Structure 1
Amino acid sequence: MILSYIDTWSVVYYGTVIFFILGVTAGFVDWCRMLWMRRRLPPGPFPFPIVGNHFQTPKVRPWITWAEWANYYDTDMLTLWIGRHPRIILSDAWAASDLLEKRSDICSSRPRLVVMGDAINATESNQTALKYGDRWRLHRKIMHMAVGSQVIRNYRPFQADESKLLIRDFLTNPEDFELSIERYSVSTVSIIGWGRRIDQKNDYVALQALSFMEAVDFIIPGVFLMETMPALMLLPSWLYKLPALLRQGAVVLSKYFYMLTLESSENGKSAFNNYLLNTQNQHGLSDLEVSGLMGNLIGGGVDTTSSTMLSSILAMACFPEVQKKAQEEMDSVVGHSRSPTWDDIDGGRLPYLTALVKEVLRWRTVTVLAGIPHANTKNISYKGYYFPAGTNFTGNMWAIHRNPRDFPEPDRFRPERFLNGLENPYPNARGSNPFGWGRRQCSGQPLAEQGLLFSLGRMIWAYDIRPGLDSSGNEVKLDIFAYTESENTRPKPFKVQFIPRSERIHEIILQEATEAREALRIYDGETKLTREQAAAEAF
């Protein structure tokens, strides 16, 4: 009996020792592999075994630290190791263009996305995470049916009407301007997607759309240990809860958007939901894919537009000389007896406004990490470096759009950079990359720009925008660097005043808002669907 106990203990002891030795040996061999790869990659901080640079990377606004590291290592391509795999942080527009645009045929795929892909079952079902190939092309083609450059002109009537209501809300409820912008953004895209507008601030559907977009933070390196050590996904939930929580949240939200799509298809409106459902079998789309396409449409339409508008308001209050120039252009073209129209924008009679929109997209780019990382499908040699297939390329827009070589005094808001051609050379004719690169550029770019031109033009025509007042009646000091920590960044809450520029403009704002509300009644409708109902259906 005793001998048997001793034999069992010996087996356990020696087995544990052998397992430990094998584990350490495997870890050391893998670390040697990392160091061997590192010889042919751009410079960057020294990686540790297994975790790489995970614990060296700040959890909050790491893009600022990466820009500093790029300067320290004197490189436009910084190598950051997230676990056992390298991530190339692109800090220069020219290098990004060479790789992601000029070689877009092989640099338009996705690397392995653990948290934003595998953990939420999006790797094979969501356009944002799909690898480059036929399935992705199908999703892209379908999305163009909703937000392509040809079809968006059909949205101008209700886009303009929603803008008129937004400008009225700045007048009647100026303290809630952020909520008003979110309502406007979600409502416009909700009409496109479901044929139903959003009339109330903090609308339930709007909140779910904003919740859906929180997933973009999953791609920030160094935030989730699971991205560094994917094996953590296999642990039981009682030991590591995150994977189970992510899966459960993703299932419920996906079910919610699919059920909402089904429900809204019965409202008699012609919208994207009907096209998706009618062609679902033809394209072989799963319910999860339909939900992802609808969620991407709604979520993407909220964050980019609303965050850019908030940055525009902040810029107008902090750079009054720019606001004055834009208003002088408006006065010379539009005057105070009418409001701006699509003809004013299409006719090229508002070049300063067009330059202003380009500058705000450059000045405070919403997707500070350029959206989702790219990956190459084939091995690449570039500038003496070697990037094996599947390498993660992440654009650091904080560094790219603030490079003083391309944008002198980058934190100054100067539309003149884009007014008469490009002020400085840039690798594309646009002069910036707020919507990404190559074949993975944001599908909603045409819709976002169309809406921004009209809504910002109308806002500048209507109001003098000034810093808000404190309790003593003095103007508050606004901070142009006070932004959120999300990957889709926006200004933190701030105070401003919206002062109508004339009595006549004041009258037009109210009159046209009344007419717009009447015109939008055809899109009225409510949904009582909740996430709790979706959860009950899902489980």
Structure 2
Amino acid sequence: MIFTHSPFEAAAFAVVLAVATVLADYARMLWMRRRLPPGPFPWPIVGNHFQTPAVRPWITWEKWAQHYNAPMLTIWIGRHPRIILSDAWVASDLLEKRSDIFSSRPRLTVMGDAINTTTTNQTVLPYGDRWRVHRKLMHAAVGSQAIRNYRTFQADESKLLVRDLMVDPADFELAIERYSVSTTSIIGWGRRINSKNDHVAQQALKMMEAVNFVVPGVFLMEAIPAMLHLPAWLYSLPSAMRMGSAVIARYFYMLTEESVRTKKGRESYSRYILEEQKKMGLTDLEVAGLMGNLIGGGVDTTSSTMLSCILAMACFPEVQCKAQAEMDAVVGRERSPIWDDVDNRLPYLNALVKEVLRWRTVTVLAGIPHANTQPVDYQGYHFPAHTNFTGNMWAIHRHPRDFPDPDKFRPERFMDGHPDQRPYPNTKGSNPFGWGRRQCSGQPVAEQGLRYSLGRMIWAFNILPGLDEQGKEVKLDIFAYTESENMRPEVFKARFIPRSDSIRELVLQEAAEAREALRIYDADTKLTVDDAVSNPCLA
């Protein structure tokens, strides 16, 4: 006997099957949830996507952690849990003390698959041999041994920055961006950035916008990965992301080739990386990722931290006075700070740099999430392998146990033996660069540059709030920050008043000498994004 079914019956069967599949998967989620840290109740398929704010979710997560009175919080991005860490000691237990297990990455739909970086970029590569190759190559550029070779041009660029702040203070944000891109560009391509609106600088800053791809709640595609494969006429975002990522990758690879071809990169990272490409079997896309990460990571942390420091100095004048008193005692006003001062003789300055990195940590979600390579039981919870662990630095660096009165800018927190210092699970006293084996590769070069450049700025100027149209001081808001995962202060006004005539003269004299010394790095590039668009795709 032959059985036939009407189209209606077939459709009804398909609906029933789909509903049963969704319910079975939802039952799996709820079963897993029993052994995970507390958090808001998830919905089928989308999880907590619509409950997680797309704008500054870290603030809401901090409130949720306080509501549940828990150091770990579970939110569901689609069908998968994400553990939000809100406590430095718990984060250290997992991500540092067990870094052999917690040094991998979860599968990231937007930050990885959508922009073709899952298997090609160090930041999202799973923990393993290929990641070790990338880490080793990056360490050659920004490791603790390599960075001492950069001190001369870092100091010279810092002298030019202070001159720019004195001559054109209204443009201080662009001056800082030029400085941070230029020092990193010299490391990467042997080419300095001379103008504030340099094309390479603008592309580096634009590339860093991709860090927002890691913020949960922004893209529904992260909750429903199948959306990545929808046709472009129905959902154009994935194809637009792939195209944008490919163009930026092509641009930085072409820039690397150009620097070696024109011999500007004779002593730079670009020559080293192209030589290693053949030995290590790197694709052009991997090379582009390494070069892009170098300048992208070097720019945002440095420039955003410097802007936060300026805001802090203008809002907490008593801190600025203490730092200047130390400068006057050690350096005086007849010479400028040197590396020996910064390294050995200015403890308050070094504590100040640590405090600004804590006070307004740039990577507010600690960069890219970690993942465990095997199942883990901890504090009565069970975490399956490949669980997403995200550090909420907003909560961690504002925890009242570790940092009382956290919005108060207080460098004394980082001075050994001071009553304001509290125990912390590492010797640095905070985690602005992440944890364990996946902490930011560029930490040494960023800290070295920040100590010198901020020290010179504090030595040279009284930093004050800017003036409005009526000539009155503006009221600055220490909470007015951008929505980006790499956060920085929103545009604000500040004044840079030279602290004496002798300092003013020294600033101009040393800037002129620095400019001459930096001429060996002068170069121009004709490459534009249009050139990258017209080039074939990278393999």
User: Do residues 245 (structure 1) and 240 (structure 2) align?
Assistant: yes
Q: Which amino acid aligns with 1:328?
A: A
Choose from 230, 235, 240 the match for 2:230. 235
Q: 2:397 aligns with which of 385, 397, 401?
A: 401
Say whether the 8 Å CA contact 1:83–1:228 is kept in structure 2: yes
User: Deviation digits for residues 22-43 of structure 1, max 9, x if unmatched?
Assistant: 1110000000000000000000
Residue 421 of structure 1 and its aligned partner are, at CA, apart by 4.5
- CA shift, 1:206, in A, is 0.6
- Equivalents in 1 of 2:280, 2:93: separation in Å? 34
SS at match of 2:535: helix
Counterpart for residue 459 of structure 2 = 461
Aligned match for 2:341, one of 339, 344, 355: 344
Q: Matched residues in 2 for 1:267 and 1:238: separation? A: 43
- Structure 2 counterpart SS, 1:338: coil
SS at 2:534's partner residue? helix
| Contact 1:252/1:538 (8 A) holds in 2 | no
- Bigger drift between 419-428 and 527-536 goes to 419-428
Shift of 1:211: 1.2
What is aligned with 2:292?
Answer: 295
Question: For 1:175 and 1:199, how far apart are their aligned partners in 2?
Answer: 18
**What amino acid is aligned across from residue 69 of structure 1 in structure 2?**
W
What amino acid maps onto 1:202 in structure 2? N
Residue 523 of structure 2 corresponds to 525
1:69-108 to structure 2, matched below 5 A, reads 69-108=64-103
Q: Map Cα deviations across residues 210-231 of structure 1 (whole Å, 9 max, x no partner).
A: 1111111000001000000000
Aligned to 1:324: 321
DSSP 3-state at the match of 2:364: coil
Moved more, 323-332 or 265-274: 265-274
> What residue is the counterpart of 2:133 in the other structure?
138
- The C-alpha deviation readout for 1:433-483, integer Å capped at 9, x for no partner, is 000000001000000000000000000000000000111111000000000
Alpha-carbon separation, structure 2, partners of 1:300 and 1:11: 60
Q: TM-score, normalised by structure 1?
A: 0.97
Name the residue aligned to 1:377: 373
1:412 paired to 2:373: no
> Which residue identity does 1:407 align to in structure 2?
F
Q: TM-score, normalised by structure 2?
A: 0.97
AA aligned to 1:415 is: P
Per-residue deviation, residues 355-383 of structure 1 (Å, max 9, x unmatched)? 00000000000000000000000100000
Q: Which runs of 4+ in 1 moved over 3 A?
A: none
Please give the alpha-carbon distance, in whole angstroms, between the structure 2 residues aligned to 1:334 and 1:156. 19
| Correspondences of 1:237-276 after superposition (within 5 Å) | 237-268=232-263, 269-276=266-273
Question: Shift of residue 420 of structure 1?
Answer: 2.1
Structure 1 residue aligned with 2:149 = 154
Tell me the distance in 2 between the aligned counterparts of 1:120 and 1:47: 28
Deviation at residue 202 of structure 1 after TM alignment: 1.5
Partner Cα distance (1:538, 1:71) in 2: 51
In the alignment, the residues of structure 1 paired with residue 6 and residue 507 of structure 2 have an alpha-carbon distance, to the nearest angstrom, of 83
Distance in 1, matches of 2:489 and 2:227, equals: 34
Amino acid at match of 2:321: K
Residue 485 of structure 2: aligned partner? 487
Question: 1:82 & 1:139 partners in 2: Cα distance?
Answer: 29
- The verdict on how the C-alpha distance between 1:392 and 1:73 changes in structure 2, with shifts beyond 3 A counting, is same
Please state how far the C-alpha of 1:18 moved relative to its aligned partner: 1.3
Q: 1:14 & 1:215 partners in 2: Cα distance?
A: 47
Give the residue type in structure 2 aligned to 1:338. Answer: R
Q: Would the alpha carbon gap of residues 103 and 203 (structure 1) be closer, same or farther in structure 2, given more than 3 Å must change?
A: same
- Picking from 39, 64, 74, the partner of 2:59 is 64
1:393 offset after TM fit, Å?
0.2
Deviation at 1:248, TM superposition (A): 0.5
Residues 421 and 252 of structure 1, relative CA distance in 2, 3 Å threshold: farther
**Equivalent residue letter for 1:419:** M
Farther-moved stretch of structure 1 (33-42 vs 261-270): 261-270
1:471 to 462, 469, 472: 469
- Count of aligned residue pairs for this structure pair: 530
Cα distance in 1, alignment partners of residues 91 and 460 from structure 2: 39
Percent same amino acid among aligned pairs?
71
- Post-superposition CA distance 1:469-510 (Å, at most 9, x none): 111111000000000000000000000100000000000000
Partner of 1:310: 307
Residue number in structure 2 paired with 1:220: 215
TM-aligned CA deviation for residue 234 of structure 1: 1.1
Task: Please give the residue correspondences for 1:100-139 in structure 2 after superposition, counting only pairs within 5 Å.
Answer: 100-139=95-134
| Aligned equivalents of 1:496, 1:322: Cα separation in 2 | 16
**Distance in 1 (alpha carbons) for counterparts of 2:500 and 2:275:** 50
**Aligned-pair distance for 1:13?**
2.3
Q: Shift of residue 15 of structure 1?
A: 2.1
The aligned counterpart of 1:3 is none
2:329 alignment partner, SS class: helix
SS at match of 1:56: coil
Q: Secondary structure at the match of 2:241?
A: helix
Amino acid at match of 1:409: D
Residue 279 of structure 1 aligns to which amino acid in structure 2?
E
Cα distance in 1 between the residues matched to 2:333 and 2:305: 26
In 1, the alpha carbon distance for the partners of 2:19 and 2:107 equals 25
- Given that 1:251 and 1:538 are in contact with CA atoms closer than 8 Å, whether structure 2 keeps it comes out as no
Q: Distance in 2 between matches of 1:17 and 1:533?
A: 54
Segment drifting more, 13-22 vs 150-159: 13-22
The 2-side partners of 1:40 and 1:101 are apart by 23
1:256–1:531 CA contact under 8 A, matched in 2:
yes
- Measure how far apart 1:272 and its partner are: 0.2
CA positional deviation for 1:129: 0.6
1:19 pairs with one of 14, 34, 56: 14
Distance 2:280 2:417 in 1: 43
Q: 1:241 to 1:418 in 2, by over 3 A?
A: same
Q: Distance in 2 between matches of 1:97 and 1:508?
A: 45
**Which of 362, 366, 374 is residue 366 of structure 1 equivalent to?**
362
- SS for the counterpart of 1:381 is strand
- Pairing 1:34–2:32 present: no
